[in-house]
Amino acid sequence: MEIKLKKQAQKYLSCVDENTRKKLYKALDQLSRLEGDIVPLKSSPNMYRYKINHFRIIFEWIKGNIIITVIEINTRTNIKY
């Protein structure tokens, strides 16, 4: 599946250190295969949370589509959803 990053996600990846960036890119690769700790959000249809250590990736995926849109990447304490 194809991953698209919204502006916040791109900005967050550019601000973190190299080791964290590598870890998050690896997580995005797993996300493209829909592997890992993925839970649907109750507040919004087609919205999901992917947990990797203390980071959270909020993304939108409509079943049947081949595009996953990453809306936000942040730490557990700073995530908005």
Q: Is residue 80 part of a domain?
A: no
Residue type, position 42, single letter: K
- Domain count of the chain? 1
Q: How far is CA 58 from the centre of its chain?
A: 5
Contact 50, 31 (CB under 8 A): yes
Domain of 30, CATH number, reads: 3.30.2310.20
For 49, 62, 73, the CA distances from 76, given in Å and listed in that order, are 11, 24, 9
pLDDT at 81 over 80: no
- Summarize pLDDT for 35-45 with one digit per residue, the tens: 999 999 998 88
Q: Is residue 81 part of a domain?
A: no
Distance (Å, rounded) from C-alpha 3 to C-alpha 26?
12
Distance (Å, rounded) from C-alpha 68 to C-alpha 60?
6
Provide the domain limits for residue 9.
Answer: 2-75
pTM (2 d.p.): 0.90
